[in-house]
Amino acid sequence: MSLDHYITLGRSGLRVSPFCLGAMTFGEDLGWGSSVEESQRIIDRFIELGGNFIDTANFYTRGHSEKIIGDHVGHSARRDRLVIATKFSGNLYPGDPNGGGSGRKSIIAACENSLRRLRTDYIDLYWLHNWDVHTPIEETLAALKDLVRAGKVRYLGVSDTPAWKIAEANVTAHFRGWSAFIGLQIEYSLLERTVEQELVPLALEFGVGITPWSPLKSGVLSGKYTRQNVGKIKPDRGFIAETFLGEKTYAIVDELHIIAKAHQSTVARIALAWVQGRPGVTSTIIGARRIEQLEDNLKALDVKLSAEELGRLDTLTKPTFGFPQNMQAWFPGLHNGGTSVNGVSAQASPFGVKKGDKIY
């Protein structure tokens, strides 16, 4: 696969590249990230290689991320060839309770400001960044419906929200004839697989395309941190990365090194290839502070992991689900009467009757 082998996002006609360029690192306003010039070079190289999907948010680097993208590609011939995604919910205005969240007042203001910074007339994919427990989902959806009908937004996505709330939103949208969420942005990596309990099954059931963020777990799975250099390298993301630097992570990194060597590749590329190959995943968000880092990570699209390699990684990382998913293994025996259904078979439940038994 290459970057110009496009995939439709969820149950929609929106074509996106298999890797999405994450722009959270665009701008040095927070003391880390890429300069304006390097950010522009990264955008140019991503587009040159066939990438068309760029993801940012209204409050990344205090709005500078959006402005960098807008100043470089907004109101240009390239803009209409790109899928530009941004997010609302984040509050840029301390002291203003309506400066963030998912209420109508906040959403419309955030959209207008994002359009201004991005120097565009429309947003291709507008994400609800994180669930606002104080706002009814009907209010959020109605405001988004108005933005879609006004031509200011093309498609809708949802990020960092419980599965049950997303299901409520899309069913509500379906029955009211409103635009539904076609994309689901979630943290997903070999170190974060709890999303497989509720969110991934929801995406598969509703036809919502998954776009994972932090596929390298804040750089922890980049190959930079190993048993051999414990304590010698200070993580770029500080306490976020340090929280995960333990035995479990080092065991995964050891295995990634073995697989990477077999593919003449790198730990980061193997970790990215694993995420991109998961069921329901459409386009994985990758960030880069340097153009060399971007080009190196894009080579993950050339990696094809074997079933045996996937099994070894699964053994190290498969999550333990809670109720009711932890009972799922029992259900074929309870449901199927000892037969095989869709290739799933199990011994009949002891609660079932035996030959000669009376059924009441």
Asked if residue 280 has pLDDT above 80, the reply is yes
Distances (CA, A) of 105 to 86, 149, 191, 192: 18, 17, 37, 34
Calculate the alpha carbon distances from 69 to 8, 31, 158, 191 in Å. Answer: 23, 19, 21, 31
232 pLDDT more than 70:
no
pLDDT at 234 exceeding the cut of 70: no
Q: At what angle do helices 163-176 and 199-206 cross, to 10 degrees?
A: 20
Instruction: Report how far residue 145's alpha carbon sits from residue 141's, in angstroms, rounded to the nearest whole number.
Output: 6
Q: Give the residue, 233 or 168, on which the prediction is more confident.
A: 168
pLDDT value at residue 224? 86
Q: Is the pLDDT of residue 290 over 60?
A: yes
Query: Is the previous residue joined to 332 through a cis bond, with omega within 30 degrees of 0?
Result: no
Model pLDDT, residue 282: 98
Report how far residue 13's alpha carbon sits from residue 86's, in angstroms, rounded to the nearest whole number.
19
The predicted structure's pLDDT at residue 149: 98
The confidence score (pLDDT) of residue 32 equals 87
HEC profile of 55-82: ECCCCHHHHHHHHHHHHHHCCCCCHHHC
314 band by pLDDT with thresholds 50, 70 and 90: very high
- How confident is the model over 116-169, as pLDDT tens digits? 999 999 999 999 999 999 999 999 999 999 999 999 999 999 999 999 999 999
Element (H, E) at 284: strand 284-287
Task: Check pLDDT > 70 for residue 230.
Answer: no
pLDDT of residue 241: 67
Give pLDDT, residue 228: 74
The encoded tokens of residue 50 equal: 């066939």
Residues in the chain: 360
Instruction: Report DSSP letters for 293-319, one per residue.
Output: HHHHHHGGGG----HHHHHHHHHHHPP
pLDDT higher for 104 or 330?
104
What is the CA 161 to chain-centroid distance, rounded?
Answer: 12
Alpha carbons 23 and 260: distance in angstroms, whole number: 27
Active site residues: 60
Instruction: Please indicate whether residue 25 or residue 349 has the higher confidence score (pLDDT).
Output: 25
Tell me the pLDDT of the chain averaged across its residues.
94
* Count of CB atoms situated within 10 Å of the CB of 316: 14
Whether the predicted pLDDT of 297 surpasses 60: yes
What does the block give as tokens for 88? 């609302």
Task: Please tell me the distance from the alpha carbon of residue 297 to that of residue 216, in angstroms, as a whole number.
Answer: 11
Residues 6+ apart with CB under 8 A from 299: 265, 269
Q: Is the pLDDT of residue 293 over 90?
A: yes
pLDDT at 140: 98
At residue 309 the predicted structure's pLDDT band, cuts being 50, 70 and 90, is: very high
Whole-angstrom Cα distance, residue 250 to residue 55?
30
Confidence of residue 233 (pLDDT cuts 50, 70, 90): low
Where is pLDDT greater, at 313 or 328?
Answer: 313
Q: For 45-77, what is each residue's pLDDT tens digit?
A: 999 999 999 999 999 999 999 999 999 999 889
pLDDT at residue number 223:
87
Range with lowest mean pLDDT among 83-97, 136-150, 169-183, 236-250: 236-250
Reply yes or no on whether the pLDDT at 236 is more than 80. Answer: no
* Residue 148 to residue 164: CA distance in whole angstroms: 24
Which amino acid is it at 131?
A: W
DSSP assignment letter at 15: E
What is the rounded CA–CA span in Å between residue 23 and residue 25? Answer: 5
pLDDT at 238 over 60: no
The confidence score (pLDDT) of residue 319 equals 95
